[in-house]
Amino acid sequence: MSGRRAGRFTLTAAGVALALAPALTVGPAVTPALAVTPAPAVAPAPAATPASAVAPAQAVGSAGVPTTAVDPGVASAAVVRPASSSTSPTALAPATTASPSASRPLRPTAADPGPDAPGPAAGLTQRVECTASSGTSPASAVRGSDPLAAVHRLADGDGQRVAVIDTGVSPHPRLDGRLIGGGDYLAGGDGLDDCDGHGTEVAGLIAAVPDPVTRTGSGVAPRAQVLSLRQSSSRFTVTGPDGRDRPAGEIGTLADAITRAVALRATVVNISEVVCVPQAQADSAGAPLRAAVRAASEAGVVVVAAAGNVDPSGTCTGAAGLRPMPALFDDVIAVAAVDGDDRVAPFSVPGPWVDVAAPGVAVASLSVGGGATGPVLNGTSYAAPVVAGVAALLRQRFPSLTPDQVADRIRATARHPAAGRDPRVGYGVLDPLAALTAEPLLLSPSQDPAGGSVTGPRTGTGPDVASRAGTGTLLPGLGQRRPDHTVALSTGIAAALVLLGAVSALLRRLRRETGRARTDRRPGPADHPDHRRPEHTPEPLARR
């Protein structure tokens, strides 16, 4: 955030790993078109039906209904879309677990569209079938414990509204009553259609309630509201000014979606999307997006974004000189991905803009149609919503904190890398419980490996993690963390001051009583000037 920032826990039903990398077409007035391809193939998954096997490509309107006429128009300057975690941009991650009560809920009511409600994108065409809901029998589900139970005793996201700017969020029983449609920048509508499944997975990581059978799979902020803004999709294309098709979702509409989220009273915005551009073009191509993020922060909204996934075939190749947006911006908490042992995910894009890391390997979440995925999701797309959920908890527990102060608290309480700030994980791996309990209220991160205002345990990013295990207090589901003795030390100092004050008061009282005794004593021979003895001052009580 301001001044560019240059116990481990497992999520069992909340995660979606789509490394975002939109096909960025910077309009002719800016630069030649730049194709921003999907993030890398992180985990193979069965491929979706190719476009050629589906009905011929056709323009669609709201909810995927074909339209007879779509104005080809001129598309905006840059296309941004999330990329699948599978081997192909059109591949689907398999869903493996369904809840017995996985019947699709009634469609929630959309937010008041207002005068600036998004409309259908010009030249929108569906090229690939939507993700099909699937799942296995809940009989295989095993009851488990909630790894975030200690966190949820302190805060659960109640009263917070987290905007998910993504591929849309499909209504789901485990989001019932808290899902709000904010708008659809592709087909028009309420934003509650999710053809890709990505946005639903991201929303589950943030705000899903536990599975009713296993009691596992809780989102980080299970009582927060989710505001869905559909802004991108790998299943659709739009026609560019040059007449060529490109993936739906653009930098201009992403900026508009952030602005709309603020207008619809979001307290946190999650963006599991990224577009990598050469450094020379970052200022010009990203100007609208930077301005929208800055305005959101000034309005008191925390913005969290994925750092991006390395994709040799796309724009986020990991090469020097590329800059991921919006993760690059100072007013964004940029999130990298680690596995369950705090080891850096090989696909996570490193850089000085990375603030913290969170679990983004082999995670699970909600699926379209009311079920849940297995632990097959990989990507910084799934690490970002974990941090967004913690930001919502902090907004609930400490409502006076500004977005900068929330970000500082998250960074200062992270499990710091052994060698200090690291471009792969920033200030370290997210520690939700420490973020909610560390003192004082206002914390500042430090570049020093010794830590910032709060000295946290050292968490490495390589194989030596296991060798340091067991050196701290094991918190339920949150990994190793040394106990914070700040409260005990403060109490001891206060008690010592009280005792010192009591001793001082007793000495003053003894001196006063001794003085009165001298005044009341009658004069005698010893008081005659010729018989004066050397003046003697009573000594204070001896310390033993």
In three-state secondary structure terms, 201 is: helix
Active-site residue, from 152, 381, 416, 431: 381
Catalytic residue among 156, 166, 184, 211: 166
Clarify whether 528 is annotated catalytic. Answer: no
Residue 440: cis peptide before it, omega within 30 degrees of 0: yes
What would the DSSP string read from start to end of 390-449? HHHHHHHH-TT--HHHHHHHHHHTSBB-TTS-BTTTBT-B--HHHHHH-SSSS----SST
The single-letter code of the amino acid at 141 is A
CA atoms of 542 and 422, how far apart (whole Å) = 56
Cα dihedral angle (85, 394, 402, 113), rounded to 10 degrees?
60
Q: What is the H or E stretch that residue 225 is in? A: strand 225-230
Q: Which of 198, 228, 331, 431 is catalytic?
A: 198
d(CA 438, CA 441): 7
Sign of CA dihedral 96, 102, 103, 107: negative
Tokens at residue 375, please?
A: 């632990």
For the chain, the maximum distance between any two Cα atoms, rounded to a whole number of angstroms, is: 127
Which letter does DSSP use for residue 530 in this model? G
Q: Active site includes 198?
A: yes
Q: Which amino acid is at 344?
A: V
Residue 485's Cβ-count burial label (10 Å; 0-12, 13-18, 19+) is: exposed
381: annotated active-site residue: yes
Q: Who contacts 379 (Cβ-Cβ below 8 Å, separation ≥6)?
A: 16, 17, 18, 19, 39, 42, 85, 306, 309, 337, 345, 347, 360
**How far is 206 from 175, CA to CA, in rounded Å?**
10
d(CA 70, CA 97): 38
Catalytic residue numbers, as ranges: 166, 198, 381
